[in-house]
Amino acid sequence: MAKGNSGLNAPCCRVCDGRLRVCVDFGSQALANALVAPGDDRREEFLYRLALGMCENCTLVQLVEEVPRGLMFRDDYPFYSSGSAVMAGHFAAVARRFLERELTGPDAFVVEIGSNDGIMLDTVRAAGVRHLGVDPSRRVCEVAAAKGVRHLNDFFEKSSAVEIAAAEGQADVIFSANTFSHLPYLDSVFEGITALLKPDGVFVFEDPYLGDIMERTSFDQIYDEHFYFFTARSARAMARRYGFELVDVEHLGVHGGEVRYTLTFAGSRRPGPAVAEMIAAEEAAGLHRPEVLAQFERRMQRTRDELLTLLRTLRDQGRTVMAYGATGKSTTVANYCGIGPDLVSCVIDNTPAKQGMLTPGTHIPIRSPQVFREAYPDYALLFAWNHAEEIMAKERGFTESGGQWILYIPQVHLV
Ligand code: DWN
Ligand code: SAH
Ligand code: ZN
C-alpha cells in the first residue's frame, strides 16, 4: 500500500510507516505563498489542515497532511532567493566550498534540487564547472537562465533524476537548500539520488533545524511547504533506511537556525564526530520526545496572545503599524494569530512579484519599501525576522525617525 495520509487511516510516517503522534495543531490554513490578486479577494482560497506529528518509530517530525505539490510550486511561485544579499553571500560560500573540496575532477558535475533563481549555481557557472539546477517553478528558473545557469524546469524525483543521469552522467555532488524538507515523497527522491549520484559522491542538504525551532519557539517555520523538520537523529535514521549514511552535520545561522547534513552511500565515507555529538545534544534536550512539542505548542499560544494584545493596544491608541517581509512564514503568523488589515496596514516587501498582491488568508496589501520610506509608521512588525540584521541596516532611517520594530521570536519584544 502507498504511504500517505489521505483516507481514514491514522496518520503515519512518510519515511518508515511508523505511527505519527499529532502534537501541534494550527487548524485550517491558507497556502503560505498563494498570494491573492486584489480582484480575486472574494474567491475561495485553498485550505488544508496544518498540524505536526512525531513518528513514534524514527522520531521524524512532519506535517500530517500533504498539499498537492502543483498547488505550491507553480509557474508564478513568488519567492526569489536572491532577495537577500546575506543569503547570496551564504550560497556563494557554499559553492566555493564544493569547488574546492568535491568538484576537483576533470569533468566534475553538480546538481541542485530547488535551484530557484540560480543563487548558488551562479558561482559554479562562473567557475566553468558543469552544473544543472532542477526546479519546477518556471519564473524563478527564467531568472536563473538569464544568468546563464543551466536548469531543468521540473520536479526532482526518480523519473527526472534517471533522465538526467542518462543524458549527463552521474553527479559528484547533489545539493539542496531549503527544498529537501519540502519533498514528502522521499521514496522517489532517494531512488532518484541513488541513480544520479556517483558511488563516492555526496548528497548535501540544509534545512531549518527542529532544535532551533523548539529553542526559539519559531512556530512560523511551520507551513505547507515545510513538510519535514529534521534532527541529526531522524536524518540518520532516514539516510540508513535508503542505503545512505549521515557522515557530517553542521549548524548554520541562516534562516533562524539550520543544519547542513552530508550523506554518502553507506560505507563510502566514515562519519565524522559531529554526528554523534549532535545526536547526544538532541537526546539531552529531549528532541525525540513528544512532550517537547507539547511545551512548544503552549509557548507559541502565549506568543500569539501577547502579539495580538500588543497590536490591538497600538491600534486602540491610534498608532500606525506596518509589517515587513511578506514571507511564507508570515502566513502562519497572520492566520494563526488573526492579524489582518485592521491591525497592520500593509506588508512591505522588496520582491516585485509580491508587490500589489494580498497576503494569503488575511488579505493585507503588499507594498514596496518605497511606501515605507515615504511615510514611516510608528511600529513595524518584522515578519522577516530571520533577515533582521540586513533589513534593520537597510532601514536605519526608520528607527532614526523614532520607529520601533516589533519582534515575536523568541518572544514578543520591541527593538
Ligand atoms: O524555505 C523557504 C525559504 C528559503 O524561502 C521557502 N519555503 C519559502 C521562503 O520562505 P520565506 O518566504 O519565509 O523566506 P524569507 O527569506 O524569510 O523571505 C524574506 C522576504 O522578505 C522575501 O519576500 C524578501 C523580503 N525581503 C525584503 O523585503 N527586504 C528580504 C530582505 C532580506 C530585504 O532586505
Ligand atoms: N534553494 C533556494 C530555494 C528554496 S525555495 C534557497 O535556499 O533559497 C524552495 C524551492 O524548491 C522552490 O524554488 C521550489 O520551486 C523548489 N521545489 C519544490 N519542489 C521541488 C522538487 N521536487 N524538485 C526541485 N525543486 C523543487
Ligand atoms: Zn518514521
Q: In the prediction, which pLDDT does 10 show?
A: 76
3-state secondary structure of 306: helix
pLDDT in tens, 221-252: 999 999 999 999 999 999 999 999 999 999 99
The x, y and z cell numbers of residue 103, run together, are 568538484
pLDDT more than 90, % of the chain: 97
Q: In the prediction, which pLDDT does 341 show?
A: 98
pLDDT in tens, 161-189: 999 999 999 999 999 999 999 999 999 99
Identify which ligand lies nearest to the alpha carbon of 85.
1
Averaged pLDDT for residues 40-58: 97
Indicate if the pLDDT at residue 299 is higher than 60.
yes
DSSP letter (8 states) at residue 381: E
pLDDT more than 70, % of the chain: 98
- Rounded to the nearest whole angstrom, what is the distance from the C-alpha of residue 181 to the centroid of ligand 2? 10
The x, y and z cell numbers of residue 359, run together, are 497576503
Q: In the prediction, which pLDDT does 5 show?
A: 55
What is the tally of helices (H) and strands (E) in the chain? Answer: 14, 17
Three-state helix/strand/coil letters over 248-282: EEEEECHHHCEEEEEEEECCCCCCCHHHHHHHHHH
DSSP letter (8 states) at residue 385: G
Closest by CA position to 144, among listed 168, 123, 161, 119? 119
pLDDT in tens, 50-103: 999 999 999 999 999 999 999 999 999 999 999 999 999 999 999 999 999 999
218 lines ligand 1 (CB under 6 A): no
Q: In the prediction, which pLDDT does 81 show?
A: 98
Confidence of residue 9 (pLDDT cuts 50, 70, 90): low
Q: In the prediction, which pLDDT does 271 show?
A: 98
Domains, the chain? 2-65 (no CATH), 81-271 (3.40.50.150), 292-414 (3.40.50.720)
**Helices (DSSP H) in 73-157: which residue ranges?**
85-101, 121-126, 138-146
Which residues have C-beta atoms less than 6 Å from ligand 2? 73, 77, 79, 81, 113-114, 116, 119, 134-137, 140, 155-157, 177-179, 182-183
Confidence of residue 2 (pLDDT cuts 50, 70, 90): very low
Q: Which amino acid is at 122?
A: D
Cα distances from 268 to residues 208, 241, 246, 263, in angstroms, run 26, 16, 11, 10
DSSP letter (8 states) at residue 10: P
- Contact at 8 Å (CB) between 225 and 210? no
Peptide bond before residue 410 is cis, with ω within 30 degrees of 0: yes
Q: Which residues contact 126 (CB under 8 A, 6 or more apart)?
A: none
Confidence of residue 408 (pLDDT cuts 50, 70, 90): very high
